[in-house]
Each structure stands twice: as C-alpha cells, then as structure tokens.
Amino acid sequence: MARHADDPLRRAHLAWPQACGPQLARHTVVLAFHEGTLEVGAYGPLWREACYQHRRELLRRLRRAIPGLEGLELRTLPQREVPPRAPSPPPPPPNPRTAEVGHEGLRGALDALLAATPRSRP
C-alpha cells in the first residue's frame, strides 16, 4: 500500500508500523518528511533510544517498503502527547452489602475487605 501512495509523508505513515513492528509503532508517531529525513515522535526517552539503536534496521525496512528513498534519514524527536490507551474496564457491580454506604472511598475499602475475607459458612 505504501508503494502506491503519491505523497512521501503518506507513504511513510503507511510503511512505518510494518517497518518498526507493533510495539514500537504503539509508542511512536510519524510527524513529518522533509528533504529526505523522516521525523518520528517517540513517547518517552526509552522509545526514542530504541529508535536510535535500531535506526539502521528501520531505515533498511523503510527503503524496502518505499522504493526510491535510498537517501532516507531518520530523526527521532520527543513527543509530549500521551499515546492513546485502551479504555478502562467497567467498574465492578456494587456489592449489595455495602451499597448503602454513602462515602465512595469507604465503600471501596469495605468492598476490598469483603472480597479479601474468606466467606464463612451460614
């Protein structure tokens, strides 16, 4: 798909996840393409370092995915925005034994205590 896009930035957007793999793709974003340099934002210093450490392999894969980019360079920049996260799981249903407790923190503590206490036999 990246081979058939006309715009170099669009081609880079399409090729980047395949070139870097799913884990690095979740922690980076293609920002710009200027004069043969692909700028990629990394969400944190560890991911920026990973891009730097693997830049030769990333460039090799990008050049293979996007023909005609022999002089391609890679620049990794810090990215301040937080990457999208998976939605939080829904809260558990209220415990009927603590449903009438009005204070949310106290109710949560009682629920945790009840969940950790082994049930006694009737």
Q: What is the DSSP string of 34-100?
A: ETTEEEEEESSHHHHHHHHHTHHHHHHHHHHHSTT-TT-EEEEEE--SPPP-PPPPPPPPPPTTTTT
Domain that holds residue 29: 2-78
Q: Count up the domains in the chain and report the number.
A: 1
Residue 68 belongs to a domain: yes
Please write the tens of the pLDDT for every residue from 57-107: 999 888 888 776 667 888 888 887 665 666 767 766 778 888 888 888 888
Residue 91 belongs to a domain: no
Quick check: 48 pLDDT over 50?
yes
pTM for the structure as a whole:
0.57
Contact 83, 43 (CB under 8 A): yes
Share of the chain above pLDDT 70, in %: 82
Quick check: 122 pLDDT over 60?
no
| Torsions phi, psi for 31 (to 5 deg) | -100, -50
Rounded (5°) CA angle 19-62-26: 30
Residue 16 belongs to a domain: yes
